[in-house]
């Protein structure tokens, strides 16, 4: 919220009646050291009847140094002060008005007006729009400079000529003129002046008055973000506004989040465009959340089309905190906390594990008993004769821990009228609740602005270093089973029974051992920033040049030493292996914009025209090296086998022309039209795309007919239509090249000859994805503006969506080719409400939002249904994206019961099934279970998402509770596959409750190793409701009384405690219902979007408790 702020300050509201005295008659006797003007006024006011009146802005921090007046007349004192502070004084009756010195005038003008008419004393109260006293309002006698201000209760009292006209004014309210007409008492009801409240919202290439906006935007203030110690800026906007979905990718330290605005309109993982202080980029993960001043999300075409070909998935504009004129401010915020797993899974212990295996073998033997010559399978000795009760490995328990987390922020800011600055530093360190995982971030951000006349210069720069150490082994397939020890006698990791017992499994590893032995870091050093200069040629016409840069250097390093847990394929590594990749990225942006603002009568115009270009280059060099002299040498050059050297060099460029017209008539009718033309190097033959948008708004509350309507205010209707694009491709995608590895052999010596071939299919016709968005919105306030509501309906049809397509093999090309094929429709309704209330010293605010969303693929073109969502390495897809369904919809059989007899299964034409196996719903009418019996089982995309933010403060205490939730979605719990069916890992303890002739009312199938009935195939057995409601954040803070802290030379000290995920209501069976887009990549394009809602070993989300202190100087 930006308020154009100037305050006319009277030093005090006091009775100004009484006989005026001449300036010479008043004597001062004061001594001040290193004083400024205000100090002088305070002292002079005490010793005289005069009130000093001034615009704070005009005289702020005017120093006058040491002054010493002994029996000095007021006039003389004022002259001296005038000389020192370059101000002038004008005395009218008891008021002395202070202003900046204009050379033509004398320093002190004494205008003692004696009134001709008889003076009367008028008293009264000024009331705000809610009928409460308005303190600090100005009450002036028209035609004079005489007046007063209201006290804390809005009361005033004034001596005035009996026929006077009073001018009552207060910032943000309409100024009123009241004719006394002999009254000596009056109450003045003030009305809000919305125009003056000018809430400015950051939009593309500028700001706009919120009142005049025609587009749909979402806004989060930095204060709300900084409040909670979120690691990632994306997570910080989760639940804060309607229409914005943030999918956290599990609870791993530093885990990224995928942001989807108004539903996925793409068949890729392409996210929104981020504009960070004017630099266009693909992510905001390098930002320190505390540095954010505001986040604006442009949701509809009217708001986002100005970003053209990159806006179809929405635009997120991030503005970082800037300095301000005034004293140097210092803010420190330090917090420390601990994290714990919200939940642990109930895995089988050794005895339960052995029982499940043995039962499974019994069941399998019984099934085949009547086959001639059948030899029953014996138990594995480790589960039977050699069961060792002293071995009971709990890999989950050993892997999880209570982990610390710390965050330190410092910011220094300040400036003068002509220059401001802000410099901040951050260090964040989070250890994972799974051992051997951690994340650390260092940030420095600096920005400043300089103004000289019509010239303005600003720059911002952010430097970030992140060090990520992920544990990718926790909770995976083929991990340690409880009947195998985890540590050997020396305390080293193992996965082997030394007693030679048959454990019944061919291939197991030790995930914690692996994570512990492996050495890995993903380090990224990022620099992002911009410099901009603007010049106002003539009034309203401003040219701006913005040059932005983003650079990062990645080092992705993994070293796996030789180790031996056992002799299976996964259990040992003969040769140490190093995988290391270095990537350098540089993107630069040049933007030229010209804006012209002009008001003609009641019409306000703003025209923007711009040209920009941006390019980026990414160059990678990597190495895969094996066989090192020893495990301590971890540099590629020492390896005996430098096996691979993956590398690439990619460059892209984008050129854009854009323009926008905003027109507002009489604050009632608004029109916005924008157009952008982009050309991208991705699309060789169709580089240019044009993206228009048009929007209208009608501010009903400013219509005459609404004047008498009191219950509702600020009513605005808006509608927009536009087309925006997505350059959802990669460099050279339309650029045929020759493969250099198509060698053949010739010669008596049979050697490889270099051969080149055009092997990869390219689609030279590839072009933009286009989203056509229609939006209708309604905004209004009720209850005297305490409650404000915004509602939007939107329809987003994304056309020419790029999907991977396998070309006809007769073309001789291989691989997939990107084509503009699919159509996806997202429709939804968004609701946001804010309620603010103040009762005495108690303030509270409730902010709530919800989104209803319907995502549907309406055409797929050539590619056909797209399978995805692998939940095990043993094959099987959980999702199928097809026409008429949401993206990534779950697809499989439906379990309708458990066979109680073998005969029942035979009767269903399922010869391989029997008692204890799943009954699958047979929907195709063909006897038996076929592929045609698979059906859609639910969507991974919630159709309803909501967030509620409650904040309250009372005196020094403050409390914030932030809830959010989703519903309507399903989650696939991969642990249910592993826990019941996978024969190469531990079972869930629940598997002991599998169906058996003596346990016939179980929902779980009988234990089996061979699973002849294929109970394991994709079905709704793995699906849970994905709905949750949680207390995402709770914070309680206390600001120490100012009087105390001032003694310490500090202006503010606040201590606080925060809890994240204090409670979560969910029916989800896995660790936590925030699973992101997990799963294995089963489809050729490897797009995670088809794996949404698939929890295949997602990192558990922790519960976090933190304590912190904020100090401001």
Residues that bind other proteins (CB under 8 A): 611, 613, 615, 648-655, 679-681, 687, 731-732, 735-759, 764, 806-814, 862, 864
Q: Which residue, 718 or 934, has its beta carbon nearer to other proteins?
A: 934
Q: How far is the CB of 529 from other proteins (least distance, A)?
A: 21
| Contact present, 879 and 891 (Cβ < 8 Å) | yes
- Residue 303 CB, shortest distance to other proteins, in Å, is 27
User: Least distance (Å) from other proteins to the CB of residue 536?
Assistant: 23
By beta-carbon proximity to other proteins, the closer residue of 359 and 1086 is: 1086
Cβ nearer to other proteins, comparing 402 with 650:
650
Nearer to other proteins, 815 or 1041 (CB): 815
Query: In the bound complex, what is the minimum distance in angstroms from residue 545's beta carbon to other proteins?
Result: 12
Q: Nearest Cα to 77, choosing from 53, 105, 104, 47? A: 47
Rounded CA-CA distance 870/1079 in Å is 5
From 1045, 1036, 1032, select the one nearest 1101 (Cα to Cα). Answer: 1032
Secondary structure of residue 991 in the 3-state scheme: helix
Smaller CB distance to other proteins: residue 226 or 733?
733
Query: Residue 711 or residue 810: which is nearer to other proteins going by CB?
Result: 810
> Minimum distance from CB of 581 to other proteins (Å)?
15
Do residues 1057 and 1036 make contact, with C-beta atoms less than 8 angstroms apart?
yes
Nearer to other proteins, 467 or 621 (CB): 621
Residue 1011 DSSP one-character state: -
Sign of CA dihedral 366, 370, 371, 377: positive
Q: CA-CA distance, 274 to 292, in Å (whole number)? A: 13
Could you tell me the smallest distance in angstroms from the CB atom of residue 579 to other proteins?
16
- Least distance from C-beta 292 to other proteins, angstroms? 31
Minimal distance, residue 778 CB to other proteins, in Å: 42
Question: Which CB atom, from 652 or from 963, has the smaller least distance to other proteins?
Answer: 652
Q: Which is nearer to other proteins, 368 or 650 (CB)?
A: 650
CB 820 within 8 A of CB 853: no
Strands (E), 929-1043: 935-938, 944-954, 957-967, 970-973, 1023-1025, 1028-1039
- With tokens 């009241």, the residue in question is 178
The nearer residue to other proteins, 40 or 683, going by C-beta atoms, is: 683
CB of 11 to other proteins, least distance (A): 56
Closer CB to other proteins, 36 or 806, in the complex:
806
Rounded Cα distance between 848 and 219, Å, is: 13
Q: Pick between residue 372 and residue 747 the one whose CB is nearest to other proteins.
A: 747
Helices 37-46 and 74-85, axial angle in degrees (round to 10): 170
Spatial distance between the Cα atoms of 987 and 964, rounded to a whole number of angstroms = 33
CB 817 → other proteins: shortest distance, Å?
Answer: 11
CA distance 280 to 588: 9
Phi-psi region of 11 (alpha: psi -120 to 50; beta: other; left: phi over 0): alpha
Contact 298, 203 (CB under 8 A): yes
CB 696, CB 214: distance < 8 Å = yes
Q: Residue 621 Cβ, how far from other proteins at the closest point, in Å?
A: 12
Q: How far is the CB of 642 from other proteins (least distance, A)?
A: 13
Q: Residue 384: which region, alpha, beta or left (left: phi > 0; alpha: psi -120 to 50)?
A: alpha
Strand order in the sheet with 108-111: 8-10, 51-55, 95-100, 87-92, 108-111
Q: At 773, which helix (H) or strand (E)? A: strand 769-782
| Rounded least distance, CB 610 to other proteins, Å | 12
**What distance in Å separates the CA atoms of residue 174 and residue 967, rounded to the nearest whole number?**
45
681 and 731 Cβ atoms separated by less than 8 Å: yes
Q: 587 vs 1024, which CB is nearer to other proteins?
A: 587
Q: Shortest distance, CB of residue 205 to other proteins, whole angstroms?
A: 18
Contacts of 486 (CB under 8 A, 6+ apart): 393, 395, 398, 480, 493, 494, 495, 510, 512, 513
Handedness of CA 780, 782, 788, 791 (dihedral sign): negative
Closer of 635 and 757 to other proteins (Cβ): 757
Q: Which is nearer to other proteins, 131 or 747 (CB)?
A: 747
52 burial via Cβ count (<10 Å: 0-12, 13-18, 19+): buried
Output the CA angle 979-983-987, nearest 5 degrees: 25
- Tell me how far apart the alpha carbons of residues 1087 and 271 are, in angstroms, rounded to a whole number: 12
Q: Which is nearer to other proteins, 797 or 806 (CB)?
A: 806
Query: Among candidates 465, 528, 461, which has minimal Cα distance to 283?
Result: 528
**Least distance from C-beta 595 to other proteins, angstroms?**
19
Least distance (Å) between residue 657 CB and other proteins: 10
Nearer to other proteins, 562 or 615 (CB): 615
Q: What is the Cα–Cα distance from 15 to 468, expressed in whole angstroms?
A: 66
Cβ proximity to other proteins: between 867 and 916 the closer is: 867
What's 197's DSSP letter?
Answer: H
Least distance in angstroms from the C-beta of 740 to other proteins: 6
Q: List residues bridging with 1038 in a β-sheet.
A: 957, 1055
**What one-character-per-residue DSSP string does 369-404 give?**
TTSTT--PPPPPGGGTTT--TT----HHHHHB--EE
Minimum CB separation of residue 924 from other proteins in Å reads: 17
Question: If you ran DSSP here, which 8-state letter would residue 165 be given?
Answer: E
* DSSP assignment string, 71-103: EEEHHHHHHHHHHHHTEEEEEETTEEEEEE--T
């Amino acid at each position: 919220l930006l308020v154009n702020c100037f305050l006319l300050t009277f030093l005090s509201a006091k009775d100004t009646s009484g006989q005026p005295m001449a300036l010479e008659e008043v004597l001062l006797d004061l001594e001040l050291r290193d004083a400024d003007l205000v100090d002088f006024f305070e002292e002079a006011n005490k010793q005289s009847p005069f009130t000093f009146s001034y615009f704070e802005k005009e005289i702020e921090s005017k120093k006058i140094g040491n002054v010493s007046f002994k029996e000095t007349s007021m006039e003389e004192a004022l002259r001296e002060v005038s000389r020192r502070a370059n101000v002038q004084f004008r005395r009218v009756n008891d008021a002395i008005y202070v202003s900046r010195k204009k050379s033509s005038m004398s320093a002190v003008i004494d205008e003692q007006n004696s009134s001709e008419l008889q003076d009367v004393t008028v008293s009264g109260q000024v009331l705000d729009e809610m009928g409460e006293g308005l303190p600090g309002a100005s009450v002036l006698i028209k035609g004079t400079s005489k007046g007063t201000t209201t006290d804390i209760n809005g009361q005033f009292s004034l001596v005035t000529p009996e026929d006077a006209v009073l001018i009552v004014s207060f910032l943000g309210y309409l100024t009123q003129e009241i004719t006394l007409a002999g009254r000596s008492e009056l109450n003045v009801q003030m009305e809000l002046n919305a125009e003056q409240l000018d809430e400015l919202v950051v939009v593309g290439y500028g700001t706009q008055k919120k009142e005049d906006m025609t587009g749909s935007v979402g806004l989060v203030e930095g204060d709300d973000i900084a409040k909670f110690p979120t690691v990632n800026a994306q997570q910080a906007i989760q639940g804060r506004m309607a229409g914005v979905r943030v999918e956290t990718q599990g609870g791993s330290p530093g885990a990224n989040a995928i942001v989807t605005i108004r539903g996925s309109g793409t068949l890729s993982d392409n996210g929104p465009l981020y504009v960070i202080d004017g630099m266009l980029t693909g992510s905001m993960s390098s930002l320190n959340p505390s540095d954010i001043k505001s986040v604006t999300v442009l949701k509809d075409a009217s708001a986002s089309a100005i970003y053209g070909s990159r806006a179809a998935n929405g635009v997120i504009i991030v503005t970082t905190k800037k300095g301000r004129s005034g004293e140097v401010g210092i803010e420190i915020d330090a917090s420390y906390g601990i994290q714990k797993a919200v939940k642990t899974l109930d895995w089988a212990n050794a005895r339960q594990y052995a029982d499940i295996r043995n039962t499974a073998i019994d069941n399998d033997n019984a099934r085949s008993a009547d086959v001639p010559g059948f030899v029953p399978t014996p138990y594995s000795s480790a589960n039977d004769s050699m069961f060792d009760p002293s071995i009971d490995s709990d890999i989950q328990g050993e892997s999880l821990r209570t982990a610390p987390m710390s965050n330190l922020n410092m910011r220094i800011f300040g400036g003068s009228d002509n220059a401001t600055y802000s410099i901040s530093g951050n260090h964040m360190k989070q250890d994972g609740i799974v051992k051997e995982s951690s994340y650390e971030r260092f940030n420095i951000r600096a920005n400043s602005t300089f103004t000289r006349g019509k010239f303005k210069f600003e720059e911002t720069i952010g430097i970030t270093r992140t060090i990520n150490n992920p544990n990718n082994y926790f909770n995976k397939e083929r991990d340690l089973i409880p009947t195998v020890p985890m540590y050997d006698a020396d305390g080293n990791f193992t996965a082997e029974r030394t007693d030679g017992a048959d454990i019944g499994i061919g291939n197991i590893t030790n995930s914690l051992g692996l994570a512990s032995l492996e050495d890995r870091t993903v380090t990224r050093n990022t620099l992002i920033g911009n410099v901009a200069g603007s010049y106002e040629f003539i009034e309203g016409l401003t040219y701006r040049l913005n040059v932005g840069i983003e650079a990062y250097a990645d080092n992705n390093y993994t070293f796996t030493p030789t180790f031996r847990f056992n002799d299976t394929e996964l259990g040992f590594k003969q040769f140490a292996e190093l995988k290391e990749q270095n990537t350098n990225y540089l993107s630069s942006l040049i933007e030229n914009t010209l804006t012209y603002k002009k008001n003609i009568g009641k019409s306000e115009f703003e025209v923007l025209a711009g040209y920009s270009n941006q390019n980026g280059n990414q160059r990678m060099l990597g190495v895969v090296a094996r066989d090192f002299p020893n495990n301590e040498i971890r540099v590629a050059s020492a390896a005996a086998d430098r096996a691979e050297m993956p590398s690439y060099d990619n460059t892209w460029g984008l050129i854009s022309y854009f323009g926008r017209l905003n027109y507002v008539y009489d604050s009632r009718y608004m029109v916005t039209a924008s157009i952008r033309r982009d050309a991208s190097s991705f699309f060789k033959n169709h580089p240019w795309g044009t993206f228009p948008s048009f929007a209208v708004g009608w501010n009903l509350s400013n219509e005459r007919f609404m004047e008498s309507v009191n219950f509702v205010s600020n009513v605005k209707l808006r509608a927009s239509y536009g087309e925006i694009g997505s350059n959802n491709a990669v460099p050279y995608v339309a650029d045929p090249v020759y493969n250099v590895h198509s060698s053949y052999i010739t010669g008596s010596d049979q050697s490889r000859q270099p051969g080149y071939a055009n092997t990869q299919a390219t689609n030279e016709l590839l072009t933009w994805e286009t989203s056509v968005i229609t939006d209708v919105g309604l905004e209004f306030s009720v209850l005297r503006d305490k409650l404000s509501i915004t509602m939007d309906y939107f329809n987003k049809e994304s056309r020419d969506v790029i999907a991977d397509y396998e070309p006809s093999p007769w073309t001789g090309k291989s691989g997939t080719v990107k084509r503009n094929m699919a159509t996806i429709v997202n429709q939804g309704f968004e609701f946001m409400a804010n309620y603010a209330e103040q009762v005495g010293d108690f303030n509270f605010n409730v902010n709530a939002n919800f989104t209803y969303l319907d995502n549907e693929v309406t055409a797929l073109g050539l590619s056909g249904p797209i399978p995805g969502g692998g939940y095990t390495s043993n094959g099987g897809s959980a999702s199928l994206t097809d026409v008429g369904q949401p993206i990534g919809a779950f697809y499989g059989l439906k379990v309708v019961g458990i066979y109680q007899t073998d005969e029942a299964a035979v009767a269903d034409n399922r010869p391989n099934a029997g008692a204890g196996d799943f009954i699958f719903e047979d929907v195709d009418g063909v006897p038996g279970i076929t592929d045609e019996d698979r059906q859609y089982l639910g969507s991974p995309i919630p159709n309803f998402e909501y967030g509620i933010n409650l904040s309250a403060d009372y005196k020094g205490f403050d409390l914030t509770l932030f809830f959010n939730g989703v519903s309507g979605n399903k989650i696939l719990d991969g642990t249910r596959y592993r826990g019941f069916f996978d024969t190469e890992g531990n079972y869930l303890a629940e598997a002991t409750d599998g169906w058996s002739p003596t346990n016939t009312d179980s929902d779980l199938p009988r234990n089996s190793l061979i699973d002849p009935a294929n109970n394991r195939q994709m079905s709704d057995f793995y699906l849970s409701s994905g709905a949750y409601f949680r207390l995402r954040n709770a914070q309680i803070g206390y600001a120490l009384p100012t009087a105390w802290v001032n003694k310490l030379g500090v202006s503010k000290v606040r201590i606080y405690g925060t809890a994240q995920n204090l409670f979560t209501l969910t029916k989800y069976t896995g660790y936590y219902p925030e699973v992101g887009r997990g799963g294995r990549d089963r489809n050729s394009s490897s797009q995670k979007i088809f794996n949404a809602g698939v929890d295949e070993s997602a990192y558990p989300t922790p519960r976090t408790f933190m304590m912190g202190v904020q100090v401001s100087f």
